[in-house]
Structure 1
Amino acid sequence: MSIEHPTGSTALVTGGAGGIGSTVARTLAAGGHRVVVAYRSAADAAKELVAEIEAAGGTAVALRADVTDADQVAALFADAVRQFGQVDIVVNNAGTMIPRPLADLTDDVFDKVFAVNVRGALNVLREAARRLADGGRVINISSTQVAETIPGSGAYAASKAALEAFGRVAAKELGPRGITVNSLRVGPTVPGMFSQAPPQRQEAMAAASPFQRLGTPQDIADVISFLAGDGGRWVTGQVITVDGGAT
């Protein structure tokens, strides 16, 4: 049985309990969207986030799914539709990074990175293509490492390049239904994956931006909020760099 909600659209955020994902979820909820916080292992963080959103007057639910499993992703979308009637916005944010020089890039590491960043992203895009409401939005979270040449980033950069390619194709396929599909090349952001970088690397990337700082999850969430809203209706098939001019 569906839960009735008089206003607002539904946004599904994968990796929704992480540094960027949680801020995206809060921002979309503050903008009046119902939010599905999709998580794989961070159950406590996801439930705390939902409680925080609800305390602020928003509507959210935490749903578990491993994006590498197509059946779990299908069930995730089905549950979201069951609870909220439809899904209007998908933020394809779940990802993983395991830095390795090419000489040390084992099949196991390659498989782990591509399982989440390529197969997982495809599973989410496939369900979005099947279930997203007409006029919906898809925002993929890519990385500036696609364009940068950083030692050790080969598998990660290649996986995000694949995600961008999926996004461009999806924009052509879903455009006739009024659905926009865009990818954000996110630069160094803290908190986020870049928190694991050595302090010297963080300082260097902060210095590379004209703003002399690293990005924050809110910097990313605000761009997503724009693309998810009516103002983003004429933007599709794009790869948008969001890094404070660092690259």
Structure 2
Amino acid sequence: MALVTGGSGGIGSEIARRLAIDGFAVMIAYSKSAEAAEKILHAIAQAGGETALVRADVSNAKDVQEAFDATINRFGRIDVLVNNAGVIAPGMIADVTEDTYDTVFDVNVRGALLAMREAAKRLQDGGRVINISSTLVGAPIPGSALYAASKAALEAFSRVLSKEIGPRGITVNTLRLGATIPGMFAKAPPERQAAFAAASPFKRLGTPQDAAEAVSFLASEGGRWVTGQVITVDGGAT
């Protein structure tokens, strides 16, 4: 059974769909996009998958706990957590406000930590934690400071958690995704999208399916010997 945060977005919904194809019952956690969440719920159900929805603001500890409660009450257990929920607020460091900082770090850092805290206590032995990061951590661009820093924190949490719950057979890994459309990068100017596509030997941007395939592997039995890693999924662009 898998819990996917940010499951109504372009990348999150494809991850949920792929995990359902792999045989997981999937709880889709969403914050605001109820219509999009319902759409992926129906798509998975029509394909024969087992799925449900839970509304949760991951920056709120009570909401995160209730999302885990709802998942266990519905499906009996949690084997996989995919920490996909995230927000981005582009802006130069000189223009950063405290409110913008709070917006980004409340979701990307606090939210990820709260979800991992629950996973550390409630995931089944032999389970998986898969965190979604960004290549901006290693290859930042102007205006990406808050997002890159928040994802760097996520990667640090991931490495530490892999040591803490590894004795229970639980793997913890992070995927550094490159520019992906549809996704947050869809809002980037066309010239920036073209530049990122040109940086890959494949001369294209990533897709949610590319991300979902990597998640599928890490969630599978084949991923049992991979833990504490940050894996770049960007078509060789960096």
State the TM-score, normalizing by the size of structure 1: 0.96
| 1:104 maps to 2:95 | yes
Identity %: 63
Give CA-to-partner distance per residue, 1:81-137, whole Å, 9 cap, x none.
Answer: 011000000000000000010000111111110000000100110011111000000
Give the match for residue 42 of structure 1.
33
What is the CA distance between 1:43 and its match in structure 2? 1.1
Give the match for residue 64 of structure 1.
55
Superposed CA RMSD: 0.5
1:212 pairs with one of 203, 217, 220? 203
In structure 1, distance between residues paired with 2:140 and 2:55: 35
User: Number of residues paired by the alignment?
Assistant: 238
1:189 pairs with one of 171, 180, 187? 180
In structure 1, distance between residues paired with 2:34 and 2:143: 31
Give the match for residue 133 of structure 1.
124
Give the match for residue 239 of structure 1.
230
State the TM-score, normalizing by the size of structure 2: 0.99
Give CA-to-partner distance per residue, 1:198-240, whole Å, 9 cap, x none.
Answer: 0000000000000000000000000000000000000000000
Give CA-to-partner distance per residue, 1:27-86, whole Å, 9 cap, x none.
Answer: 000111100010001112111211111111100001110000001100110110011000
What is the CA distance between 1:149 and its match in structure 2? 2.8
* 2:125 match: secondary structure: strand
| 1:79 maps to 2:89 | no
Q: Which runs of 5+ in 2 are unaligned?
A: none
In structure 2, distance between residues paired with 1:234 and 1:130: 21
In structure 2, distance between residues paired with 1:51 and 1:209: 34
1:27 pairs with one of 13, 18, 21? 18
1:225 pairs with one of 200, 205, 216? 216
Give the match for residue 13 of structure 1.
4
| 1:114 maps to 2:98 | no
- Which stretches of structure 1, 4 residues or longer, exceed 4 Å deviation after superposition? none
Name the aligned partner's letter for residue 185 of structure 2.
Answer: F
In structure 2, distance between residues paired with 1:16 and 1:79: 15
In structure 1, distance between residues paired with 2:35 and 2:191: 32
Q: Which runs of 5+ in 1 are unaligned?
A: 1-9
Name the aligned partner's letter for residue 9 of structure 2.
Answer: G
